Structure 1
Amino acid sequence: MGNDGGSIPKRRELVKNAARTPTVSELKAIILESLGHAWSHCALSDAPLDMETAVSDASGRLYNYESVLKHLTATDESTDAAPTLTMIRSLRDIVRLKVTHRGEKYICPVSLKQLGPGTRSVYLVPCGHAFAEVVVTEIKEDLCPECSEPFERENVITILPTTEKDIEHLVQRMEDLKSRGLCHSLKKDRSEKMKKKRKGGDISQDDRDKRDPDSITPGNKKVKKDDARISGINNPLAASLTARVLAEQDEKIKQRHLAETGLARH
C-alpha cells in the first residue's frame, strides 16, 4: 500500500520536499524552458513568433509586428485590447530585428551559432541586426558586422535578458534616452513634444498622425484609407501588415457602431 517498495511518506516529508530551494541545475532548466517559450512566442499575443517580422522593445522582449500594431490601434472599447504591461507607446519604441536564417534555424551571421535560448544573443540599435553576444563583445570597431552602420555600446540590446546586470543596463539606458528626449529606436520622443504643444493650443490626432507616421498610439479610433502613417512606412512588408491591421480595426469599429445603432433603435 505504499508508493514504492511499500514505504509511505509522511506528511512532513512531503511538505519539506515541496518547500525546498531548487538546485542550480533545476533553476537553469526552468530559465531555459522560459526562454524557449519567449523565443518562440510573441510577448503580447502569445502567438507563435514570426522571426521574419519580429520586433523588440527596450526591455529586449520579442513581439510579432502585427501584434504590436493591433496593440497600438486598439480602441478603449475593444474586447481584444492588448495587455498594458509593455513599454511600447508608439512605433518609435520598437526596432525591427534583422536575423539571418539557415533553413528553419536563425543563426548569428558571424559565429554561425543558432540564435535562441541556448545562446546569449543581442541586437544593435538602430540597425536591428542580431548576433551572438560574443561576436559584438570581441569586435574592435563599433560598426555593425553586417551593414557597417556605427553603433554605441550602450545601444547593444540583450535579447530576453535574465541577469540583473543586463536588466539594469537596459533600464538605465531607457532613463538616459528619456532624459535626452529619445525613444528606444533613437528617434525623437514625439509624445513629450506633443504634450508641450498641447499646453499652447489644441492639436488633433489626425494632424499628429499626418506629421508623424511613427506615432501610432493606443486609442486612436480614426483610420483613413490614405493614412499618412502607412505611406510613411518604407518597408513594403511592414506597410502591408500595417494596412491590414488598420483595415481590421476599421471594420471592427464599423460593426460595433452598427450594432450599437441597431440596439438604440429597438
Structure 2
Amino acid sequence: MGCDGGTIPKRHELVKGPKKVEKIDKNAELVARWYYCTLSQEKLKRPIVTCELGRLYNKDAVIEFLLDKSPDKPHADSAAHIKSIKNVIELNLSENPAWTGDKGNTKGDMYDEQRAQFICPVVGLEMNGKHRFCVLRRCGCVFSERALKEIKTDVCHKCGANFMDDEVILLNGDKDEVEELRKKMEERRLRAKMEKKSKKTKSAESTNVYGQTEEVSGPSGVANENKANSRDKISFVSSTESTVESGSSEKTASSSSSSAAKRPFSTTDKKSEAYKSIFTSHSSAKRTKDQSSNWVTHTAYYF
C-alpha cells in the first residue's frame, strides 16, 4: 500500500500551493500575429487584408467566413465584426529584398533570426512585429509609424493619394488601441447609416416636390391653366351649340312630320276643271252612244 519501506513524502507532494501563471512567449505571440492569419491560423500570403481593428487575414479565409458564418468555426469571434468584404482593406505591401523565404532557417530558434517578408518603403524597417506599422484606409499602403511621424504630410508616400489622420489604422495594436479603433469603427458605421437615411429622405422629398410642382403651378402654370380653362369653355360652348342645333333640327323634323301626318289629303274640289278633265272619272269622259262616232275607240274605263 506504500510507506512500508520507510519512504517519507515531501511537503510539496502533500500540500498544494498556488498555480503558477503561465507566461506567454513574446516571440511566439509576435509570430502568431505577424506571420499567420488571425482567422484560419495559416501563414499569411498574398492577397493579405486587414480589418478596421488592425488584424491581419488572408483574403481567401475572410471570403470563406462570409460565405459560411457558422459559430462552430474556430476563431470565428475574431472576425465577428466583419459583415461584408467592404469592411476589410487589401494591403499594398512592399517586398523585402533580403527575405529568403522558409528555406533560410529550419531550426527551432528561427523566431529570433527570421526576416520579414515585407518592409516599410520609406524607412526600410522590417514588418516582423518589433516595429509598429500602420495602414491607410483609402489606398491600403502600409508604412511604419516612424515614417509617418518623421515625414508629416497628408499625401501617401507610395501612391500619392490624399489621406487624413482619422484614416490611419494601427496594425496589431494592444488592447487599449484596439478599443479605440473599435469606437472609431462604430462611429464611422453609424455616420454611414445616417448619411444613407438622409439620402433616401432627400430623394423621396425631391420626388414629392417634383410631383407637387406638376400639380401646383406657378406663373407659367397659371397661364397653362387659363389656356386649358378657355379650351374647356370653347369646347363646352361648341357642344352646347351643337346640342341646340341638333335639338332644333329634331324639333323641325318632328314638326314637319307631325304636320305631314296631320295634313289632310287634298280634295278634288279645289282643282280646276281642266285638271279634272284629264282623268276618266270626269263627267266629260262619259259620253253616250249617240255622241260618240263609230271610229272612236273607247278605253276600258268607258262606262
Structure 2 length normalisation: TM-score?
0.49
Q: What letter is aligned with 2:132? A: R
User: 1:171: which partner in 2?
Assistant: 182
Q: In 2 relative to 1, CA 90–131 (structure 1 residues): closer, same or farther, beyond 3 Å?
A: same
| Match for residue 65 of structure 1 among 55, 59, 63 | 59
Q: In 2 relative to 1, CA 110–79 (structure 1 residues): closer, same or farther, beyond 3 Å?
A: same
1:47 aligns with 2:48: no
Q: What letter is aligned with 2:183? A: Q
Q: Is the 8 A contact 1:75 1:81 kept in 2?
A: no
Secondary structure (helix, strand or coil) at the match of 1:177 reads helix
Distance 1:153 1:119 in 2: 20
Q: What letter is aligned with 1:37? A: A
Distance 2:15 2:134 in 1: 44
Residues 193-208 of structure 1 mapped to structure 2, 5 A cutoff: none
Q: Is the 8 A contact 2:37 2:56 kept in 1?
A: yes
Q: Give ranges in structure 2 of 5+ residues lacking alignment.
A: 1-9, 100-116, 201-303
Q: Give ranges in structure 1 of 5+ residues lacking alignment.
A: 1-7, 183-187, 197-266
Kindly report the root-mean-square deviation, in angstroms, between the aligned alpha carbons of the 2 structures: 3.5
User: 2:130: which partner in 1?
Assistant: 118
Distance 2:52 2:14 in 1: 46
Instruction: For residue 79 of structure 1, report the CA deviation from its aligned partner.
Output: 8.1
Q: In 2 relative to 1, CA 147–14 (structure 1 residues): closer, same or farther, beyond 3 Å?
A: farther
Instruction: For residue 14 of structure 1, report the CA deviation from its aligned partner.
Output: 8.1
User: 2:162: which partner in 1?
Assistant: 150
Q: Is the 8 A contact 2:169 2:181 kept in 1?
A: yes
1:95 aligns with 2:95: no
Distance 1:108 1:13 in 2: 54
Percent sequence identity over aligned pairs: 25
Q: Is the 8 A contact 1:92 1:189 kept in 2?
A: no
Secondary structure (helix, strand or coil) at the match of 1:122 reads strand
User: 1:83: which partner in 2?
Assistant: 76
Instruction: For residue 72 of structure 1, report the CA deviation from its aligned partner.
Output: 1.4
User: 1:133: which partner in 2?
Assistant: 145
Alignment: residue pair count = 174
Distance 2:16 2:134 in 1: 42
Q: Is the 8 A contact 2:48 2:59 kept in 1?
A: yes
Secondary structure (helix, strand or coil) at the match of 1:15 reads coil
Deviations 1:79-108 (A, max 9, x none): 869825412111110000111012332100
Distance 1:172 1:148 in 2: 28
Secondary structure (helix, strand or coil) at the match of 1:131 reads strand
Q: In 2 relative to 1, CA 9–114 (structure 1 residues): closer, same or farther, beyond 3 Å?
A: farther
Deviations 1:122-172 (A, max 9, x none): 1111111111111112222111111111111122111111151x2232122
Residues 181-192 of structure 1 mapped to structure 2, 5 A cutoff: 181=192
- Higher relative CO (CA 8 A, sep ≥ 6), structure 1 or 2? 1
Distance 2:15 2:129 in 1: 35
User: 1:15: which partner in 2?
Assistant: 17
